[in-house]
Amino acid sequence: MTGRDMTAHDMTGRDAGVCQATARVAGNAPAAAYRHLTLDAPGIAQLAQPGQFVALTVGGPTSALLLRRSFSIHRVDPAAGTVEIVVSDAGPGTAWITRLADGESVDIVGPLGRGFTLPDAPGAAVLIGGGYGSAPMFWLANVLRENGFAIHHVLGAASADRLFGAELADPADELIVTTDDGSQGERGWVSDPLPGLLERTGAKAVYACGPMGMLRAVTEIATAHGARAEVAVEEAMACGIGVCMTCVLPVVGADGVTRMSRSCVDGPIFDATTVRWDAVAGGRVAVPADCLGAPR
């Protein structure tokens, strides 16, 4: 076990399960600096919950790109059978995905990983998204609102063109936008408004998705204010099913022991206080000296 608080409730109550399917592209639209894809994948749409992800093959049947690319689920429509993702063109694999046209097909596996959990009692919740890491937060916001929560949404990015979803946060009770360069909203980091929000709202539930440095800052602020934070970590997931061990993070278990946990199956959602942020820096993850199995 990773130390994840399993007393909280599942977001949707749907049965766990995973599907592999050939999904037809039902839409591919620009969304700021990203692409917003809608895929026909009814089996996945029926099973998914906020915070889970899907893994797509890339490059077509003759491609040398062997590894899938993983993306947080932006939202699903079980009635229509669709799954939506947001893709940033960050290399040959993701570039191929961003060029998929309506009617083309892609192999998809999901839903994968663990989703967000629901606190035991409704109240105020703060949702924080950095860049296109905000993609899964809007579906989460809808589920929280349906369960009686007030939603305080913070969206941030380096610049206005890297923001995703400010126009989607209308149902939020409050929306704060930040950019590092001040090109939209407040100038500063996306974590900057969090102390004031927690003091003003009394929120005890914080959810965040974005770069690892942002998640560490959110964890420290939430903990200092007595709030519980769940974070969706952004680790490269080469297989998505727990085999390759490329996405491991040091996580403290319920027994107090640090283990290298697989983000794809033990996460990507973690109780923020269980992640050993001291071992994560500069895009690299170190093995703490006290980690189970670490060299002595």
Percentage of the chain with pLDDT > 70? 93
Q: Taking the C-alpha atoms of 89, 91, 92 and 98 in order, what is their torsion angle to the nearest 10 degrees?
A: -10
pLDDT at 110 (0 to 100): 93
CA pair distance 207, 172, nearest whole angstrom: 14
pTM of the shown model: 0.90
Q: Taking the C-alpha atoms of 7, 12, 14 and 19 in order, what is their torsion angle to the nearest 10 degrees?
A: -110
Average pLDDT over residues 56-64: 80
How sure is the predictor about 274, in pLDDT bands with cuts at 50, 70 and 90? very high
Q: Is the pLDDT of residue 6 over 60?
A: no
Lowest mean pLDDT among 60-69, 109-118, 150-159, 286-295: 60-69
**Strand order in 228-232's β-sheet?**
186-187, 174-179, 150-157, 124-130, 205-209, 228-232, 269-271
pLDDT at 9 (0 to 100): 42
Q: Is the pLDDT of residue 88 over 60?
A: yes
Radius of gyration of the chain (CA): 18
Average pLDDT over residues 209-233: 95
How sure is the predictor about 242, in pLDDT bands with cuts at 50, 70 and 90? confident
Give tens-digit pLDDT for 174-190. 999 999 999 999 999 99
Give tens-digit pLDDT for 158-217. 999 999 988 876 667 899 999 999 999 999 999 999 999 999 999 999 999 999 999 999
CA atoms in the 13 A half-sphere facing the CB of 214: 31
| DSSP for 233-266, written as a single string | -----SSSSSSS-TTEEEEE-TTS-EEEEETTTT
Q: Is the pLDDT of residue 267 over 50?
A: yes
Angle at 57 between CA 51 and CA 58, to 5 degrees: 115
pLDDT at 16 (0 to 100): 66
